[in-house]
Structures are given as structure tokens and as C-alpha cells.
Amino acid sequence: MSLKKQAVLGAKWTGLSMGVIAALQFGQVAVLARFLSPSEFGLMGMLQVVVGFAQSFADMGITNAIIHRQCATREELSSLYWLNVFAGFATFALVVLSIPLIIAIFHEPRLKTLVMWVALSFVTTPFGQQFQTLLQKELRFRSLAITETTGVALGVVVSIIAAFHHAGVYALIWGVLTNNITQSAMLVAIGWREWSPALHFRRDDLRGYLSFGAYQMGERSLNYFNQRFDQLLVGSFLGTEALGYYSLAYNIVIQPVIRINPILTRVAFPVFARVQDNTERLQKGYTKLISMLSLINFPLLIGLAAIAPSFVPVAFGDHWTKSVVLIQILAFVGLVRCQMNPIGAALYARGRADLGFKWTLFQTLLLIPCLYLGAKYFGVIGMSLVLLGVQCLFVVLSYLWLLRPVIGPFAARYFGASAPALGAGAIAGVLVSGVVRFVTGAGGGAFSSLVAGIVVGVVSYMCICLLCFREQIREMWEIARGRIV
């Protein structure tokens, strides 16, 4: 099977998986929002900050190194596997030992027991993590789709059942653990059959992997810190309730980055790695990647901002309306991040994890004081606006400092790839906002204005796409059908 066909089939299976997972998790949040308070969502937001940051260290940064290096011996993979397992147990121990510090940062003593529970994921995840990487490297996304969808589905079921039985924040925690354990068990069942690691460990096998992994681990931890530092500030300065509203808004808006983008970026990374020495093919592939992602993401996020006043009370209840303004601001933060998100695929394909680390360090040094001042003096809304402004600056600087040095100058193609989708999404967004306001002003309820806004948004954007983006739509349709484009 050709590389192009493998990539198309990979995108098809990843898209199917991400679509199902997004629907399941949205349903989970919609149900749990009826049973859990903003304070309980805020507690989970605090846990996500802690656990997500620790996950940056859990695999020693070596998973992407395995994909970048096209040839790896069984002995090397065995040594890397056991290193990964050891790192998982070490991370668990460090998180547990850090509980007093975590409580001091958030001023929340209830975190003591909760952190113990969620830290168990570091013990189970490493056993299947390398097998997940190898499946991605070989573009076997059907197996990955089945594994991930099954894990999320079981996790959603467990969390909803627990919520019905008044488990509170533990409903979210038990759902996460069920998901992790299920995926690890399925990956182990596949991996030990095909890439069974030997009882072998040698330091020499780690050469080249650890240097790449060190930069990757540093970049990943800093990048996660950048993405969650806003929640840390809200939780520390404003408390669990404010963090609950912010976390709900953040988790809704971030879905395109974590669900839609990987449909193409997870496939693009191993594909880029195979053609890493061909600059022209990298530029062409990257430009097409940005164009497709923007056509999908931009209208979703702009439309979400437009319908937020109706969407929030219908989906989550009237007691969540304080999240509306936050969703509208963070939607544009998400739009900017969608533009920058694929950069990692190009950097890692060329083996430039070092450059990614330096860039993320620069982001961190700029973000920390800006967000701190925004949260302290202007509250959660002011901090969100500051975050949006800084992210816009990063779009320009990321091209100058990352993309141009790694895959050559292509500024016109890079920025031009997303401009049409931005214009089309803006037109549709204005129409949706006008319809929502009209229906609401005419006495229609939130549900009526939501339905009217969605219909107008979908129809208007589809008409614009059919008139202006026929070729791109045809390519995405062929990918969805699993055919070569």
C-alpha cells in the first residue's frame, strides 16, 4: 500500500474515532453538569493541571523519538519499554510526594485524596504507551481508533453511573481511570503479540533517544504548563467556583485542538518523518494541512462564540451562564492555537525537538508575567483577553523562529492557507450572531435561538464553501471515504 493511501486511511480512522470520542465526551459533560456543581468541576480542573503536567515526564519524551528514528532494533525497543514503565512508577511517587505542595498552591485540602486517585493512571498507562506509538508509526490507525474509542466509551459510562449515585467529583476521576486502564489493557494485548519486549535493558540502547527525549520532555512540560497556567492562576486567586466556570469554557473550546486536529496531525507526523529530507514536499504537505484544519476549525469556533448565549443554558443549565463570555473569548484563543498546533509535526519529523523546546521556553517566560498581571488586576475575563493577545503574537513569531528555519521560507503560502477560511467563518459568524439576537429579541427562548443559529450557520458556511472551496471540500470528502486523493 502506498504512503499516500496509508495516510488517507489513517485520517479516515482517526477522524471516525475523534468524532465518536468528541460526541461521547460532550454528552458526558452535558450530563455531569446537571449533577455536579461548578466547585466540583473546579476541583477536577485543578487535578487536570497537576496530572497533565506530570504526564509530560511520564514517558521520558521518547515516544516521538521512536517515530522520528525510522530504524529501531528489538533490543532498543525493549530497553525503552522498561524505561517507560520505570518512569511511570517514578512519576506516581513524585506526584504523591508533592501533594502538600499542590494543596498549598491551590489552597484546597480536598485535593489530598483526589490526587492519590488520579495518580494511579501513571502506573497503568506506561504498559501500553510504547505499543500505541508503534501503531502510530506504522500508520495502523484502525487499531488505535478501536482502542481509544472503547476506553473513552467505558469511561463515560462509569462516570455517568457514578454521578447518578451522587459520587461527586469522583465520578469524573473514576471515568478517567477506567479509560486509562481499558486502553492500556487493549494496547498490551496487541503489543505483546507483535512487539513483545524482552527482559533486556542496556544504557547503550538509549543513546540518541534520550537526547531527543530530553528536549521533547522539556518542551512538552513547558507547553502543558503554558496551556494550563491560566487555570492554575484562576484556581489559586479566585477559587474553585471561578475555576469551574473557566474549566467548562476551556474544555469546550479546546475540543477542536485535541479532537479534530489530531485527525490529520497524528497521521502527518509519521508521514512527514518519512519524507523529512524533502523540503518542498514538507512545505506543500504542511500548507495543505493548515488549509484543511482551518476549513474545519475556524467556522466551528467562530460559530461557537456566536451561539454561546443560547448554547450554554440549553446544554448545561442556567447556572452555567457565567461561562458564556469566557467561551466567546477562549473560542478565538482556540482558533489561534489551531493554527499553531501542527508545528510540532514538522519539527519532530526533522528531529528538531531542541528548537521546539527553546520556543516553548520563550513562550513560558512571556506568558507567566502577562497572565499573572491579567488575573490579579482584571479577573478571569481580563486574563482571558490578555491570553488572546499573546497568542496572536505567537502566530507570527512561530513562523519566523520555527517554520522558516526548519522547512524554509513560505510565508505567503503559510498565512494564505488559513485566510480564506477565516473570512468565510467570520461571515457565517456574523449571520449566526444576528439571527440569535433577532430570535431572542422576538421573544424566542434559548432553544429556539440555538436551533436557528445552528441552521443559519451550517447553511451559510456550506454555501460559501461550495462557491469558494470546491477543491478542498472534494479532497476532504475523498479522505472521509478512505480513497486516494
Q: What is the pLDDT of residues 32-73, one digit of tens each?
A: 877 877 777 777 777 777 666 656 555 656 666 666 665 667
Tell me what the pLDDT averaged over the chain comes to.
79
The C-alpha cell of 171 is what?
A: 465520578
Q: What is the pLDDT of residues 302-338, one digit of tens each?
A: 888 888 888 888 888 787 888 888 999 999 988 888 8
Band of pLDDT at residue 157, cut at 50, 70 and 90: very high
Residue 345 confidence (pLDDT) above 50: yes
- Looking at residue 476, its amino acid is M
Percent of the chain with pLDDT over 70: 79
Task: State the pLDDT at residue 485.
Answer: 41
Task: State the pLDDT at residue 329.
Answer: 92
Between 34 and 277, residue with greater pLDDT = 34
Tell me if residue 63 falls in helix, strand or coil: helix
Residue 143 confidence (pLDDT) above 50: yes
Longest dimension (CA), the chain: 72
Q: What is the pLDDT of residues 105-120, one digit of tens each?
A: 777 788 888 888 888 8
Task: State the pLDDT at residue 482.
Answer: 47
Residue 121 confidence (pLDDT) above 70: yes
User: Which residues, including other chains, have CB under 8 Å from residue 35's CB and lie 6 or more apart?
Assistant: 163, 164, 166, 171
Task: Give the DSSP per-residue string, 34-56.
Answer: HHS-HHHHHHHHHHHHHHHHHHH
This model's pTM is above 0.85: no
Residue 17 confidence (pLDDT) above 80: no
Neighbour-count burial for 295-329, b at 16+ CB within 10 Å, e otherwise: bbbbbbbbbbbbbbbbbbbbebeeebebbbbbbbb
User: Which residues, including other chains, have CB under 8 Å from residue 193's CB and lie 6 or more apart?
Assistant: none
Q: What is the pLDDT of residues 218-237, one digit of tens each?
A: 666 676 666 677 777 777 77
CB 232 within 8 A of CB 168: no
Tell me the C-alpha to C-alpha distance, in Å, between residue 264 and each of 11, 106, 321, 341, 459: 6, 37, 34, 11, 25
Q: What is the pLDDT of residues 426-483, one digit of tens each?
A: 888 888 888 888 888 777 778 888 888 888 888 888 888 777 777 766 666 655 554 4
Question: What average pLDDT score do residues 289-314 get?
Answer: 85
Map grid coordinates 513562550 to a residue: 363
